[in-house]
Amino acid sequence: QLQLQESGPGLVKPSETLSLTCTVSGDSVSSSTYHWGWIRQPPGKGLEWIGSIYYAGNTYYNPSLKSRVTISVDTSKNQFSVRLTSVTAADTAVYFCARLNSGWHSYWGQGTLVTVSS
């Protein structure tokens, strides 16, 4: 049974860096079949795609976030991570990690709320 679990600080100060990790169980982030991605949802709003990574290191980012976001993979820990720099209150959201099949997000983590506030 595939499971994805997000982890990281629930509170980040403005201008600092948001860092989250997704731990995968029941599958391998080294799989050549899938990409692994991040999506976020501000409170009361819709879903926003952040980006994705392939085990070989290929990354793809939402153009609106590209200058601030980095997604990486740690195959030894079966995890992948997202870093978002220079955060503001607008980055307050529930952050989801997900497995991407070819063209769709097949499995999602439960999500973790990150609040940007001093």
Contacts with another protein, residue ranges (CB under 8 A): 37, 39, 46-49, 51-52, 60-64, 96, 100-106, 108-111
Q: Burial of 117 by CB count in 10 Å (0-12 exposed, 13-18 middle, 19+ buried)?
A: exposed
CB of 52 to another protein, least distance (A): 8
Contact between 58 and 104 (Cβ < 8 Å): no
Comparing CB distances to another protein, the nearer of 16 and 111 is 111
Contact between 74 and 81 (Cβ < 8 Å): yes
Helix (H, G, I), strand (E, B) or coil at 89: helix
CB of 19 to another protein, least distance (A): 20
Comparing CB distances to another protein, the nearer of 86 and 106 is 106
Comparing CB distances to another protein, the nearer of 34 and 61 is 61
Counting every residue written for the chain, the total comes to 118
CB of 112 to another protein, least distance (A): 11
